[in-house]
Structure 1
Amino acid sequence: MREDQTKPDNEAQVDDNNLEDIVAEADTGARNPEDAFSRRVLWYTPLVWAVYQLWIASPLPFILGFGVWNDTQTRAIHLGFAVFLAFVAFPGLRSSPRNRIPWITWVVALVGAATASYLAWDYAGVSIRTGVPSTRDLIMAGLGMVLLLEAARRSLGFPLMGVALFFLAYVFFGSWSGLPDVVQWKGASFQKAMSHLMLTTEGVYGVALGVSSGFVFLFVLFGALLNQAGAGNYFLQLAFSALGHLRGGPAKAAVIASAATGLISGSSIANVVTTGTFTIPLMKKVGFSPAKAGAVEVSSSINGVLTPPVMGAVAFLMTEYVGISYIEVVKTAIVPAAISYVALVYIVHLEALKMGMKGTSTMGNVQFLLGAIFTICISIVIAGGTLWLAGQIVTLADAVIGPMSTSVLVAGLLVAYVAAVRFAAQRDDLDTSLESMQHLPPASVILKTGLHYILPILLLMYLLMIERKSPGLSAFWSSCFMLVILLTQDALKAFFRGDGSKTAAFLHGLSEAAEGMIAGARNMVGLAAAMGVAGIIVGSVTLTGIGQVMAEFVEFLSGGNLLAMLFFVAVISIILGMGLPTTANYIVVSSLMAGVVVELGAQNGLIVPLVAVHMFCFYFGIMADVTPPVGLASFAAAAISGGDPLKTGFQAFFYSIRTALLPFLFIFNTDLLLIDVGPVKAIFVFIVALIAMLLFAAGTMGYFLTRSRIYESVLLVFCAFTLFRPDFFLNQIAPEFETRPATEMYTLAEAVPDNGTLRVRMVGESLEGDPIDARYLLPLGATGPDGVTRLMDSAGIEFREEEGKTIVDMVGFGGPAEQLMIDFDWEVVEIEVPAERPPQEIFYIPALLLVGLVALLQRRRKDKFDAEGAPA
């Protein structure tokens, strides 16, 4: 919907029904049938799906010995629910009826559910016939693939289906003589393709769908339940009350509120509509143009997907693809997400200054920044301290009361919940109208009305961070706690207030809990379909080897230059992002390009951790909902603001440049991902990176203390680069490593400290016969008796001396060396050890002096303008 541009901004009206349609078409399904049977099916089916997911995540199946399925069966049932709902909830065409479900759709939906779940109800037979499928297997597989692609098209649009069809065409027709020799392969028969893609865990029912059924559904359900309970509105009003009095306060509140709701929302589009309905009209009221108001909301909402713990489901996929723990993924993501959000708040602040906005607060530029950083740090300290204290109490309880500790702690959590609800009941419930946002009570008052919403989030963080439970189990218990809150909060408030019927309040809570479970399940339809189709793409890559072909093509285009390679990977991600959901985009790009970037980095002397490459692909994939002309989040924001969707998208992309900058930086400076960084250095890295990002924001916005001149903006961006990558300049004057002959390997390996690494350069041939000349980090674990033992025990590799050369003699099966794809008979050319040189941080001094010079120039100019009464 687009408002008449002749209307004043503050008169633009938002049609709530249209906004609901936007979210429905993108996330939950636009079908709204009028007949009772269809409505019941669309109500009960997602409810049963949610109950099923809670059941398989709970310990009950194993306790009761009933309803126990293996991973493959649970994935198939999960996909069956998604395919069925994709057909009945999403119309096939724009002309298809919204108010009824045609009979042919019912038939196709049932067939789709049956074929998608085929591996569940005939698992024993299919497993016996692995490699030699029966005719029925092939029919079910073929039908299942076609209907899965159609389900993805209905729920996500054509682009993902189109990419999958491209890969399928290569599977079946890759042997065509018209293709260049370099991309030809022998082709696959229908039987071979279906066996690989639909009847094993190599394709559709692979890792991605396993993550969807095991982790993602529960986190999306947790977010839906939390939002249904009223937490979204609570966080929104809290942000507005705290920041609304500042310059451009509604825009700053939009950033913070979107950060809070992004933690619990699985969709940037739903995030835009949920918070944007309130924030965008208020941003326009204080002076933001429709395009800028919408762009602020879009930039804030997509950043929510960057923020742990969920990260748009990518966090859980990364644990499987990279082979690191969930805690490690969260640790790598936290600093970039935090500085990106602070920078966006600062961008909004600079925009407000440029437009001459006023607020009731007299807080200056520096005061605002210090206040924002202080608030964030205090919040992190309080949250971390609370989790640490909870961990200490659990440890003490285990020591004192043993097996009873869990029951006592659960009782303590419930007591804290009842006390928080009693505290909230002393005040009226929050008003959810737009008008109320302009006359909010103090933030301290609002904070007290929803403290019980914070408890399930703290429980989730405690289970993940302190107890180190699996993400699925953590989300399960947190969702159960949310169900308790939904069922009881209204009844408890009625009891403490002494008014209203407790029974009616409980029944209302029961209805809200059911609606929350239904909302969570319907939000998963498109994501589950995307995971299944992504499995087709990944399976096609593993079946055909096209990944290596594409890698060689990109390597050819880049000329072997790592920076050019990263640029091409970014462009591919953005192009795919114009049509694919973020999660599917991440799966496709990382499966094709991650290994290539690591390999090319090694050839250029740069050891790039695999998690850094995966984060690179993720960050550019996240631009999917911003990038014109297909950015759905931009269209949703434009529908609210009455602005032009393309202008909104381009403005949001400009605001998000800081997000696009970060991936290039943490490839070359992995300290930003806190890789091998201790607590003290982590704080230092965060502070320096934050200053650098704020300087970058000031440089690109053309405003620091006052409007910047071009050379001042260039200097600020240059200083930001120096703070981000001080090693760049140090490497120009002093090499990072000095080389030692391969004959010193054992001596150097013996001298490496505990859990250190040995950096070696090797040459050889790959299995395909391609020449290899790359560098590798061999992990050495704890110090041992000699270098030979450390290399064998920790790195899983042995060498032999042959004609004065050091040759790889043995690579341990499954060991670190094999995982690095080191092969037999490769030669160690040289060992690289860190060179003695000045600390790279020395370059911070000239960078900060330049910042001081720019600040001094701008301060003098500003004082002069202020004295003359002219605009600065």
Structure 2
Amino acid sequence: MSKTEKRALSEEELQELVAASDSGARSPTGSVGLFIALVALTWSIFQVLLASPVAPWVLPGDLINNSRQIHLAFAVFLAAMAYPLFKSSPRDYIPWYDWVLGISGAFLALYGYFFYNKIVANGGLADATDAYFALAGLILLFIASYRVLGPVMVILALIFLFYVFFGSSEAVPDQIRWAGASLRKAMSHMWITSEGVFGIALGVSTKFVFLFVLFGALLDKAGAGNYFIKMAFGALGHLRGGPAKAAVVGSAATGLISGSSIANVVTTGTFTIPLMKRVGFSAEKAGSVEVASSVNGQIMPPVMGAAAFLMVEYVGISYVEVITHAFLPAVISYIALVYIVHLEAVKNNMPTIGNKVVSMGRTIGGMFAFFAGFAALCYVTQFPVRFITGLFPEGSGLILSILLGAIYVALIYLASQTPDLEADDPNAEVVELPDLAKIYKSGLYFLLPIIVLVYFLMIERKSPGLSAFWATFLLFGILLTQKTLKAFFRGEENAISRLKDGLIDLIDGMIDGARNMIGIGLATATAGIIVGTVSLTGIGQVMADFVEFLSGGNLILMLIFVAILSLILGMGLPTTANYIVVSSLMVAVVVELGAQSGLIVPLIAVHLFVFYFGIMADVTPPVGLASFAAAAVSGGDAIRTGFTAFFYSLRTVALPFVFIFNTDLLLIDVTLTQGIVVFIVSTIGILVFTAATMGWFLTKNRIYETVLLLVIAFALFRPGFFMNQIQPPFDLIEPAAFTETVGNAAVGSELRVIVSGPDFDTLEVKDVTVPLTVPEGADAQARLDTLGFIIVPEVGVQRLDEPGFGTELGDALSSFDFYGDDPVQITQVKATADQLPKELIFIPALVLLGLIALMQSRRATPALREGEPA
């Protein structure tokens, strides 16, 4: 062990680290421990029933209507039971004050349920008694959040709450002062109505997130996590830097299951980090690879650390659209990370593990074939399903269930022909890497619940909650029966007795799922206070003015400011809470300032931008929790691990800026052919960017080569920037000709109208760019009426009257003062010009890349040429 390395934590200490962060460090034994386990199990059962198709028949209507209150009550109570309040608090029993806090918090969370009729009679508003109970509820929520999430979330919520009460004080600057709120008004908003604590975020946690977290916990309990890691090592472990490559792929797979970067680091890192150190990675670099790959698990659909479901509500698009937009950046980010560790291995001439001779190209081809085959399998499933439902419309559900059961039994029989997978010892004198040909059969049945999930989400387009229910229901059956069926097929005696083991696994998985949800439930509830403050006080517009002032109206500076804010907030908040807070404050700002700069930024792009920088906080020192967990495994320095992991994550930092300006990367408004081209070119672009930042392509880069590689990457990601310099993207039209242009334009063509006028709050003149799609209409006036334009021509001015409230145009121009002395007017009209395809820029960029490759290949050492291709 080098002097810079510290003692790596033991397996028991690592599990305690994960528990302290994700599920609570306190686990009392005896009757109290059994009681807590029963409460957690009850929570899981309630949530499964709530998501099931039979919910209206098995659950009373008032339980369904107040499910958010019940969800929070469980979270607050279990927080008091599982998370010690102080560092000195006991870990093996629950002190009296935690019983008081837990029971009181649960009661106050259920206040709206118990006194529902009274609140309805008051018109949904709080009276004096309600207000004091609500205030007590907030206090106990803060205590629960403090013990689970730490002080930052509580401090942030308190700052916003103080602003609600004291925002009218003369001590508050004029720019952010507001009228203030009474205790009754504030508590009604925050606790009684669905605008604050019990708002959209907690609703998403209740309806969707719990089922996906439970699905992940059950899949892991079934053994899927170990299977995925083994498969990754079997496929990649023999390559140069293989343990690091396997860590990336294994973490991508387990990240889909855990949803927790810290749990992901410890789960895969206990095996991957020692092996990475064994082939030449330093403790810090080994930990950094694990951190970068584990944290990236949260940007990989379908779960995305619960953010995907929140985006559905906030952006107003379907879940399928959200994960479609998020898919490509996540995939190419992981591809780049594999390339990073490959370059590290090549640069340092690291040895391989084992004596198996493999081709990297063949390995990558095999992996691509597997994922393509899996995607094709998910897609083609619809055809036999539709055939059966068409043939037997009444009994198709039963027939399909029997067919699925038969496939499961067949795959279990296949798995029973091989020994059960055991965790390997990475410190063994001789490391035997898994043989794919022998182990792949042992866990193929784990793919069934994932296929069911993807089928219901993508093909049937069912809700995320219902899709997760059916996948989880299948997992119930797998956990209950897998050990019994394997024992039966292996000819073991008393195979039926293994049902008890399966039942124990199922119960443990449901308890784990509930405990893993405590933090998310409290994070979404506490973040609701910030969201409620924004809706109550209008602070969002103030934030927009403040950010615009700091950035000087420059969109790039403003995006950097938002990114830094996301990082700072994320240092003390879990990913979900950070996303809720920053998105509620900043998304509208980015969209508005983008419109003023002439850039139309889709809402989903801004939400993903905020989310990406939120997860980077798990990496970034001084508070990067995933980096500390990796250092605990590797024995390296946590701060150095964090900085190295951040360097490895530069592509994750760069991608959000790219897709703000090039939404093709999010597959917005692209055809299938265009999507394939975008995928190929973006993959090349991210690899070129990685080669530039790592200082190594085919051999060590010269400075000018690094610069050229960055230019090539920029051209591949933003070809439109260069094409716009060659040919303007828009034809400018005089404002006076706007009506005529609308009348003559083809239906479906796009126009951009720059509207100038006084801001409603500051009275300063500003510009806003409004995108228009020309609608059908008999004449120009009919089309203008459809769009919502009311034009009052004056001498030299195309003045606008205020459009109808609630129309799309009305929303776009809502920040203007239409009744002041200065007119709101059309100052410029842009029509899309005939421009050469921007994809032509790819040709010179790829030619230049080929020239650099030729130059580097000529000076690469003979040893490198004979080694693994870079």
- How far the C-alpha of 1:170 sits from its partner, in A, is 1.4
CA contact (8 A) 1:28 1:523 kept: yes
Residue type matched to 2:409 in 1? V
Partner of residue 808 from structure 2, selected from 808, 813, 816: 816
Contact residue 4 and residue 636 of structure 2 kept, 8 A: no
- The 2-side partners of 1:132 and 1:528 are apart by 24
C-alpha contact 1:167 1:537 (8 A) present in aligned 2: yes
Looking at structure 2, the residues matched to 704 and 351 of structure 1 have their Cα atoms a distance apart, in angstroms, of 11
Q: What's the counterpart of residue 21 of structure 1? A: 16
1:74 is aligned to 67
Shift of 1:132: 4.6
How far does residue 362 in structure 1 lie from its aligned partner after superposition?
A: 11
Residue equivalent to 1:37: 31
> Residues 32 and 728 (structure 1 numbering): CA distance in 2 closer, same or farther, change over 3 Å?
same
- The residue correspondences of 1:822-837 to structure 2 (distance < 5 A) are 822=814, 826-837=824-835
Which amino acid in 1 is paired with 2:43?
A: W
**Could you tell me how far apart the structure 1 residues matched to 2:747 and 2:128 are?**
58
Aligned CA distance change for structure 1 residues 280 and 864 (closer, same or farther; 3 Å): closer
CA displacement 1:431-468 (0-9 Å, x = unmatched): 12325893244213221100110010011000000000
Q: In structure 2, what is the equivalent of residue 426 of structure 1?
A: 417
Which whole-Å deviations, capped at 9, do the CAs of 1:387-440 have from their partners, x for residues lacking one?
Answer: 221112222223222222222222211111111111101111111232589324
Note closer, same or farther for the CA distance 1:498–1:807 as it changes in structure 2 (3 Å cut): farther
Match of 1:315 among 308, 319, 327: 308
Residue matched to 1:662: 655
The aligned amino acid for 2:33 is: R
Alignment of 1:786-865 (within 5 A): 786-790=779-783, 792-793=785-786, 795=787, 797=789, 799=791, 801=793, 805-809=797-801, 811-822=803-814, 826-863=824-861
Q: From 370, 375, 390, give the equivalent of 1:384.
A: 375
1:694 is matched with: 687
Alpha carbons 1:778, 1:816 under 8 Å: kept? no
Between stretches 841-850 and 86-95, larger displacement belongs to: 841-850
Counterparts of 2:663 and 2:5 in 1: how far apart (Å)?
Answer: 48
Mapped contact 1:778–1:817 kept (Cα < 8 A): no
1:610 to 599, 603, 606: 603
The Cα shift of 1:754 comes to 5.8
Q: Which residue of 2 aligns with 1:156?
A: 149
Structure-to-structure mapping, 1:65-104, within 5 angstroms: 66-69=59-62, 73-104=66-97
CA separation of 1:427 and 1:181: change in aligned 2, threshold 3 A: same
Q: Is the 8 A contact 2:250 2:268 kept in 1?
A: yes
Indicate the residue corresponding to 2:821 in structure 1.
none
Displacement of 1:503: 2.9
Other-structure match for 1:777:
771
465, 485, 502: which one aligns with 1:492: 485
Structure 1 residues 475 and 770, CA gap change in structure 2 (3 angstroms): farther
Single out whichever of 136-145 and 543-552 deviates more from structure 2: 543-552
CA contact (8 A) 2:758 2:817 kept: no
> Which residue, 214, 238, 256 being the options, matches 1:263?
256
In the alignment, the residues of structure 2 paired with residue 624 and residue 711 of structure 1 have an alpha-carbon distance, to the nearest angstrom, of 32
Q: Which moved more, 1:604-613 or 1:806-815?
A: 806-815
Change (3 A) 1:206 1:745: same
Counterpart CA distance in 1 for 2:3 and 2:649 is: 30
Q: Which moved more, 1:93-102 or 1:170-179?
A: 170-179
Does the Cα contact within 8 Å between 2:233 and 2:434 map onto a contact in 1? no
1:779·1:816 contact (CA, 8 Å) conserved in 2?
A: no
**Residues 848, 153 of structure 1: alpha-carbon distance in 2 compared, 3 angstrom cutoff:** same
Match of 1:715 in 2: 708
Unaligned runs of 5+ in 1: none
Moved more, 191-200 or 466-475: 191-200
- What are the Cα deviations for residues 488-545 of structure 1, in whole angstroms up to 9, with x where unaligned? 1111111111104233210100000000001011000011100001000111122222
Does structure 2 retain, via aligned residues, the 8 Å contact 1:72–1:201? no
Counterpart contact for 1:692–1:724, Cα < 8 Å = yes
Q: 1:808 to 1:80 in 2, by over 3 A?
A: same
Q: List per-residue Cα deviations over 1:745-793 (Å, max 9, x = no partner).
A: 4554456566554322212344434534111112446x55445445544
1:689 shift after superposition: 0.8
Quick one: which of 166, 169, 180 aligns to 1:187? Answer: 180
Instruction: Look up the SS of the partner of 1:760 in the other structure.
Output: strand
Q: 1:239 to 1:529 in 2, by over 3 A?
A: same
1:478-489 pair list within 5 angstroms: 478-489=471-482
Partner of 1:832, secondary structure, is: strand
Whole-angstrom distance in 2 between the partners of 1:648 and 1:867: 32
Q: How does 1:565-604 map to 2 (within 5 A)?
A: 565-604=558-597
In the TM superposition, 1:361-760 aligns within 5 A as: 368=360, 371=362, 374-375=365-366, 377-434=368-425, 438-746=431-739, 748-749=741-742, 755-760=748-753
After superposition, the Cα gap between the structure-2 partners of 1:515 and 1:787, relative to the gap in structure 1 and judged at 3 Å, is: farther
| Deviation for aligned residue 1:196 | 0.9
The aligned length equals 859
- Counterpart CA distance in 1 for 2:838 and 2:133 is 61
Partner Cα distance (1:784, 1:449) in 2: 63
Deviations along 1:250-274, whole A, 9 cap, x unmatched? Answer: 1000000000011111211111111
Alpha-carbon shift at residue 571 of structure 1 (Å): 0.7
**In the aligned structure 1, how far is the partner of 2:234 from the partner of 2:504?**
30
Residue 37 of structure 1 aligns to which amino acid in structure 2? S
Aligned to 2:731, what secondary structure does the other structure show? strand
C-alpha contact (below 8 Å) 1:752/1:758 kept by paired residues: no
Q: How far off is 1:809 after superposition?
A: 4.9
**TM score, norm. by length of structure 1:** 0.94
CA pair 235-744 structure 1, distance change in 2 beyond 3 A:
same
Structure 1 vs Structure 2 CA RMSD: 2.5
Displacement of 1:32: 2.0
CA distance in 1, matches of 2:8, 2:623: 24
Secondary structure of residue in 1 paired with 2:831: strand
Shift in Å, 1:285: 1.0
Could you tell me how far apart the structure 1 residues matched to 2:219 and 2:780 are? 54
User: Which amino acid in structure 2 is aligned with residue 157 of structure 1?
Assistant: G
Amino acid at match of 1:829: T
Question: Is 1:247 the equivalent of 2:259?
Answer: no
Query: Quick one: distance in 2 between partners of 1:61 and 1:297?
Result: 41
Q: Is the 8 A contact 2:237 2:243 kept in 1?
A: yes
For residue 431 of structure 1, give the secondary structure of its aligned residue in structure 2: coil
Contact 1:79–1:529 (Cα < 8 Å) also in 2: yes
Separation of aligned partners in 1, 2:740 and 2:463: 41
SS in 2 for 1:777: strand
Local SS of the residue matching 2:645: helix
How far apart, CA to CA, are the structure 1 residues paired with 2:343 and 2:834? 42
Q: Do the aligned residues in 1 keep the contact of 2:548 with 2:558 (CA within 8 Å)?
A: yes
- 8 Å contact kept, 1:72–1:205: no
State whether residues 753 and 770 of structure 2, in contact with CA within 8 Å, keep that contact through their aligned partners in structure 1: yes
1:57 aligns with 2:51: yes
- The alignment partner of 1:763 has SS state of strand
In the TM superposition, residue 807 of structure 1 has moved relative to its aligned partner by 4.5
